Chain A
Amino acid sequence: MEKNDCSAFRYAFPKTVPVLVGYLFLGAAYGILMKVNGFGLVWTLAISVFVYAGSLQYAGVSLLAAAVHPLYALAMSLMINARHLFYGLSVLEKYRGIKGYKPYLIFALTDETFSVICSEGPPEGMNRVAVYFWISFLDQIYWVAGSVIGCLAGGFLTFNTEGLDFALTALFVVIFTDQWLTQKDHRPALTGLLVSAACLAVFGADAFIIPAMAGILAVIVGLERTDRKKVETACRENG
């Protein structure tokens, strides 16, 4: 078991290097943002360990700075993290039957960890669960380390940090571009972009997420129907 765990670690670590770089950078930007908004090491550490959700943590800086009602913070958390529902649905089969580590694996399923786990098929004979665990755990270590470094360095910053939070937008644009380049079917991505933009124009910045999610679901259900009909017609035509 010990030896198996060790080889799982050696297999998992290289897969996480892109996340290592990204999380140190984005985590540090988060730590700096927290620091310049008056929230120090204890806050940053606690949130990166227990919340551990990048985009929500960025949004959380303004929630904390404005001292909003906790229920509003809960609603925002559900909306911003709603995409995790889809990640969970995508790895249901992969995580089926895992004992012990499973609650942590589910807790730590961020966008980046999801993308690594998704593309992961450990070789025969290797402890699959140990590989998933190391990927998830290493990613969180990078995130926590990055945010702590940023928080500590933030106290010594003498340059103008205006616009630093664009790092998050850039991350999502990068993931979107990646998905666009690797996917043949662009309808889901376009649906997400266009329905959200339309809802933003109609409902405004503070109220567009729920209608956008409902709209996206509706369009995708419609796409599924069309695809199914196409398949059925093709099957009939081919006898």
Chain B
Amino acid sequence: MQREWMIVAAMAAGTLITRFLPFILFPAGKEKPRYLEYLGKTLPYAAMGLLVVYCLKGVNFLGPSHGLPEILAVAAVAALHCWKRNSLLSIGIGTVFYMFLVQAVF
């Protein structure tokens, strides 16, 4: 159990570092480098693309299901969201749809 608590402490420390670092590196009064503004405007979008890929990294396209449940469910979430623009609806229905696919279809 001690090891598990150390994992929790490591997760807390890692999170604190990533959240506080910008404020420590660029305290009030210190001028920000020019490219930082551009990064602040573009990185949040790139980071979300990275996160989507990160979530799907375990999908095996050569496996028995060929990644079809993931492809179908992601497409359903994106399509539903374009249509209704309701985050909860998209996430809720997408998750139930995915659970149905992996449990009952594939």
Contact = CB atoms under 8 A, between A and B. Distances in A.
B91 to A, nearest CB: 4
Given A164-B95, A176-B48, A170 B73 contact: yes
Interface in A56-93: 56-57, 60, 63-64, 67-68, 70-71, 73-78, 80-90, 92
A88 B27 CA distance: 12
Interface in B9-61: 9-23, 26, 28, 32, 35-36, 38-58
A220 B87 contact: no
A67 B98 contact: no
Nearest to B7: A73
B102 A163 contact: yes
B39 A86 contact: yes
Contacts of B51: 55, 83, 172, 176
A22 B87 CA distance: 8
B68 to A, nearest CB: 13
A177 B82 contact: yes
Contacts of A187: 42
Given A106-B20, A167-B95, A174-B81, A188 B45 contact: yes
Contacts of A135: none
B97 to A, nearest CB: 9
A102 to B, nearest CB: 8
A235 interface: no
A39 B22 CA distance: 33
A120 interface: no
B15 A56 contact: yes
A88 B39 CA distance: 11
B6 interface: yes
A89 B22 contact: yes
Contacts of A164: 95, 99
Given A106-B23, A196-B53, A220-B38, A173 B4 contact: no
Contact of B14 (A26, A76, A83, A171): A76
B77 A170 contact: yes
Given A51-B11, A193-B49, A196-B54, A78 B23 contact: no
Interface in A32-53: 39, 43, 46-47, 50-53
A155 interface: no
A208 B47 CA distance: 14
A202 interface: no
Interface string B66-96: 0001100110011001100101101110110
A96 B32 CA distance: 13
Interface of B: 3-4, 6-23, 26, 28, 32, 35-36, 38-58, 69-70, 73-74, 77-78, 81-82, 85, 87-88, 90-92, 94-95, 98-99, 101-103
11 contacts: A60-B11, A64-B4, A78-B17, A83-B51, A87-B19, A88-B23, A164-B95, A166-B95, A185-B42, A189-B49, A208-B57
List the 8 shortest-distance A-B pairs measured between CB atoms, nearest first: A77-B14, A192-B49, A88-B22, A192-B46, A193-B49, A83-B47, A196-B53, A163-B99
